[in-house]
Amino acid sequence: METRESLFRQIETQRHLPTLPAILLKLINACEQDGGNLKEVSRIIEHDPSLSGKILNLVNSAHFGLPNRIDSMHRAVVLVGTNAIKNIAICTSVYEVFNQTRGNSVFNLKFFWWHSLKCAMVAKFIAEKTHYIRPDEAFLSGLLHDIGKLVFWVNFPEKYREILKTCKGQNDLLFAEDKQLGATHSEVGAWLIRRWNLQSFMADSLLYHHEPKERILNALPLVQIVYVANALSHVEQQDKDYNITGELFGFSRSQLEELLSSAEGELKNVAQLLGIEIESPKSPEAILSEKDQGGHEDLAREVREFSLLTGTLQNLLQASDEDTIVRAAYQGLKVLFDIKSVFFFLYDNEKKGLICKTTEEKNSSFINDNIIIPMEADKSLLTSCLTQGKPLESFTGFADAKPIIIDEQIIRFVNKEGILCIPMLAHGEYVGVIVLGLDQIEFSHLSKHSMLLNMFSNNVALALHVDQVRRNQLNRIQSERLAASLYMARKVVHEVNNPLSIMKNYLKILGMKLSAQDPAQEEIECLNEEIDRITMILRSLTTFSEKRVCNFVPVDINGLLSDLMRIMTEFLSQHSNIKLHMDLEDELPMIITERDSLKQVFINLVKNAVEVMPKGGNLYIKTRHIPSYFEDELGSEHRKYLGYVQITITDEGPGISDKIKPRLFEPFVTSKGHGHFGLGLSIVYEIIKSLNGTLAYESEEGKGTSFKIRLPMVTEQKV
């Protein structure tokens, strides 16, 4: 039925639909496993002190009648059983979730729980006397049989108040609920139980508990038990419902009176053990007026929302970069307002426009860094809300004119009826726009929380602005450091070139004195190559910030690594406890790359690895060929290559601290202390990037670090 489906959709968007806590969902899942892992059930419960305390109180009460006191949760689970434990947990959690609201003279919440708990107790006693296999399931079904009324009350308080005022009896109530809201509380309760993935017959017991007596005669036992328990729990209806109890279960009047007396006797005790506040209809207590009650509800809502906002703002303060801030803001909007369609358009000062910062991979096909909404598009809701400094929406914003195509495209993409655009400004500067995709009913609900939404957006804007200032400051400091280093490097290069030239001349003279067949000629040639490489490195220091010009040649990676390790033998021998392990893949394909630059990369990484193991350790160097069919993990921009050669260099040092990891490849970042300038890894990173490769690392404090280089295989014609 369309109206019923619409009602359920509306309840879902109201943010007042209660959801079971995460710990309870884990508990239900563990209890439902075949055989039930008792240790796992106990472990889950022990993570919630409140829940474990209530369960231990209950199992030690006269309700269960165990001979000795139980202090261990595992023993409690073994003795009572997973079904009973699960149902106790659901009872307490459901009560706590719904107890955030309050009733009034029309809907007395304490009396509601009195009736529900009495129905639960009666259902359990009937189940035990009729030998129903799961009496705890009957208890839970009885407790939740009217939960649909609570769903109506917390989602439609004004409408439901009027319905309760005007309805004289149960049939009138069911008719009014169906006509004015689109479904009865029985149907809503059954729908909610199915959403929680509880047993299907429990949902049926809720669905049919107001059906005509003739239909119940042919129902399954749980439906019959809850039907009778509900009827017997209404004081004014007890006399006329004795007959159906006898018809269904064969109980005599004296047996029924004994059963009801037992239920009344345990009612308050169980309510106290479960922490449920009840009120007998025979002794109603004074309640607040509707006006005062409304004030209390507004205050409670504001306190709850402020608490959520405080937690979200804490996440924003702890965010370390732009991506983390955007993710924290996205999660905050979901938690505070239950909005799932969220986009952040950040202002780019250089491009004078808004660029979408998506938080979900699925949106990247439509919105990416190449799509810019220029600020000149002044008729767009996005740019207009930023220039005007106020929220704008499409639901009434296009009353006088058609929206521009950009706005139409965005509305179509978010797959909602419209959008709400919220400006983000900080200290008078543009930061960006939050775009929320909404249906009309969601927009109507959200408009009641405009103040909270503005507070939230202002704090997101401030967090993003502070991050931008920090990055600009960092760039400025790095530029100043690079300028100072460049000045010093030029002086060093000028002074060092002279002795290097003298060394080359003496090597040339030495070579001329030796015969062409002398074995030392090979060593002299190696020394000449290394002096040339030193000259190139020195020259590169003076052009650190300039774009590299690469000289690509075919390179045998295995051969290059073997030669370097032979040259570095003396360096490694100074660290007697360093053990080198070479694992070079046979027949590794040659790649076209820059040989001298790779030498610099490998020497830097090996030198770093040795320096972080002053007391010795193992150093591993491994090469592998990565075929083209594994390239998807690297991203679409790399799929033009024929495959990759992967080089992994691993040490057993102290690992990289979490403080340094986010800035590991930035210049002047180091953890080695005095005498180290933090340029090595930044140079390595720039070289690998210039060679169209990737550099990644894995590190855990106390367990070493592994650097993984991937270099693309290309044909010579592509270079």
Assign residue 68 the CATH number of its domain: 1.10.3210.10
DSSP string, 478-515: HHHHHHHHHHHHHHHHHHHHHHHHHHHHHHHHHHHHS-
DSSP helix/strand/coil, 378: coil
Query: Nearest CA to 7 among 176, 157, 187?
Result: 187
Q: Which residues pair with 357 in a beta bridge?
A: 344
Residue 646 has pLDDT above 90, yes or no: yes
DSSP helix/strand/coil, 621: strand
Residue 634 has pLDDT above 80, yes or no: no
Q: Which residues pair with 429 in a beta bridge?
A: 426
Q: What is the pLDDT of residue 675?
A: 40
CA atoms within 13 A on the CB side of 505: 6
Same-domain pairing of 366 and 224? no
Give the number of other Cβ atoms within 10 Å of residue 186's Cβ: 23
Q: Which residues contact 27 (CB under 8 A, 6 or more apart)?
A: 41, 44, 45, 85, 86, 89
Residue 302 has pLDDT above 80, yes or no: no
Q: Which residues contact 102 (CB under 8 A, 6 or more apart)?
A: 109, 293, 296, 297, 300
Residue pair 432/396 in contact by the 8 Å Cβ criterion: no
Residue keyed to tokens 């809850």: 226
Residue 518 lies in a domain: no
In the structure encoding, which two tokens stand for residue 322, read together?
Answer: 């732009």
Q: Is pLDDT larger for residue 196 or for residue 456? A: 456
Same-domain pairing of 260 and 382? no
Residue 338 lies in a domain: yes
Same-domain pairing of 216 and 310? no
**For the sheet containing 643-650, what is the strand order?**
578-584, 617-627, 643-650, 705-712, 694-699
Residue 127's alpha-carbon distances to 14, 120, 214, 253, in angstroms, are 37, 10, 21, 17
Same-domain pairing of 272 and 331? no
Q: What is the pLDDT of residue 286?
A: 37
Same-domain pairing of 160 and 219? yes
Residue 707 has pLDDT above 90, yes or no: yes
655: DSSP letter: -
Secondary structure E strands in 500-640: 553-555, 578-584, 591-593, 617-627
**pLDDT bucket at 705, cuts 50 / 70 / 90:** very high
Q: What mean pLDDT, rounded, does the chain reach?
A: 76
Residue 384: which CATH number? 3.30.450.40
**pLDDT bucket at 421, cuts 50 / 70 / 90:** very high
Residue 388 has pLDDT above 80, yes or no: yes
Q: Which residues contact 505 (CB under 8 A, 6 or more apart)?
A: none
Q: What is the pLDDT of residue 15?
A: 47
Q: Which residues pair with 697 in a beta bridge?
A: 707
589: DSSP letter: P
Query: Nearest CA to 266 among 232, 249, 274?
Result: 274
Residue 518 has pLDDT above 90, yes or no: no
**pLDDT bucket at 622, cuts 50 / 70 / 90:** very high
Same-domain pairing of 201 and 322? no
**Percentage of residues in the chain having pLDDT higher than 70:** 70
Same-domain pairing of 330 and 253? no
Helix (H) and strand (E) counts in the chain:
29, 13
AA letter at 124: K
80-118 confidence digits (pLDDT tens): 676 667 666 677 666 665 655 555 556 777 888 888 888
Q: Which residues pair with 392 in a beta bridge?
A: 421
* Cα separation, 208 vs 190, whole angstroms: 9
Tell me which residue range forms the domain holding 74: 2-281
In the structure encoding, which two tokens stand for residue 162, read together?
Answer: 């009027």
Exposure string over 52-76, b if 16+ CB within 10 A, otherwise e: bebbbebbbeeeeeeeeebeebebb
Mean pLDDT along residues 312-329: 75
Last residue of a domain, one of 281, 312, 347: 281
Same-domain pairing of 309 and 266? no
Mean pLDDT along residues 517-546: 73
Q: Is pLDDT larger for residue 416 or for residue 103? A: 416
Residue 29 has pLDDT above 70, yes or no: no
Residue 575 lies in a domain: yes
* Cα separation, 84 vs 128, whole angstroms: 14
Residue pair 136/229 in contact by the 8 Å Cβ criterion: no
**pLDDT bucket at 706, cuts 50 / 70 / 90:** very high
**pLDDT bucket at 352, cuts 50 / 70 / 90:** confident
First to last CA, the chain: 65
Secondary structure E strands in 145-253: none
Last residue of a domain, one of 454, 475, 496: 454
Residue 574 has pLDDT above 70, yes or no: no
Residue 540 lies in a domain: no
**pLDDT bucket at 300, cuts 50 / 70 / 90:** very low
Any idea which of 24-28, 55-59, 470-474, 498-502 has the lowest mean pLDDT?
24-28
**pLDDT bucket at 662, cuts 50 / 70 / 90:** confident
DSSP helix/strand/coil, 376: coil
Q: Which residues contact 239 (CB under 8 A, 6 or more apart)?
A: none
Last residue of a domain, one of 421, 454, 487: 454
Residue 157 lies in a domain: yes
Q: What is the pLDDT of residue 345?
A: 92
Residues belonging to the chain: 719
Q: Is pLDDT larger for residue 9 or for residue 214? A: 214
Residue pair 359/326 in contact by the 8 Å Cβ criterion: yes
Residue 505 lies in a domain: no
Q: What is the pLDDT of residue 222?
A: 92
* Cα separation, 365 vs 371, whole angstroms: 11
Q: Is pLDDT larger for residue 209 or for residue 262? A: 209
Residue 376's alpha-carbon distances to 327, 362, 373, 382, 560, in angstroms, are 28, 29, 8, 11, 55
Residue pair 140/247 in contact by the 8 Å Cβ criterion: no
Q: Is pLDDT larger for residue 107 or for residue 214? A: 214
Q: What is the pLDDT of residue 620?
A: 93
In the chain, what's the furthest Cα-to-Cα distance?
126
Same-domain pairing of 568 and 709? yes
Any idea which of 9-18, 33-42, 470-479 has the lowest mean pLDDT?
9-18
Say how many domains are in the chain: 3
Q: What is the pLDDT of residue 101?
A: 55
536-568 confidence digits (pLDDT tens): 667 666 655 455 556 788 999 999 998 888 777
585-602 confidence digits (pLDDT tens): 988 988 988 888 888 889
Mean pLDDT along residues 623-636: 62
CA atoms within 13 A on the CB side of 572: 16
DSSP string, 228-279: HHHHHHSGGGTGGGHHHHHHHH---HHHHHHHHHHHHHHHHHHHHHHT----
Q: What is the pLDDT of residue 158?
A: 83
Q: Which residues pair with 56 in a beta bridge?
A: none
Same-domain pairing of 685 and 603? yes
Residue 682: which CATH number? 3.30.565.10
What's the CA angle centered on 96, arms 109 and 141, to 5 degrees?
75
Residue 516 lies in a domain: no
Same-domain pairing of 265 and 305? no
Any idea which of 8-22, 367-381, 678-692 has the lowest mean pLDDT?
8-22
DSSP helix/strand/coil, 462: helix
**pLDDT bucket at 365, cuts 50 / 70 / 90:** very low
Residue 324 has pLDDT above 60, yes or no: yes
The pairing of beta strand 578-584 with beta strand 591-593: unpaired
Same-domain pairing of 46 and 92? yes
Query: Nearest CA to 467 among 327, 364, 342?
Result: 327
Mean pLDDT along residues 232-249: 69
pTM: predicted TM-score of the whole model, two decimal places:
0.39
Q: What is the pLDDT of residue 26?
A: 67
Residue 49 lies in a domain: yes
Mean pLDDT along residues 196-224: 85
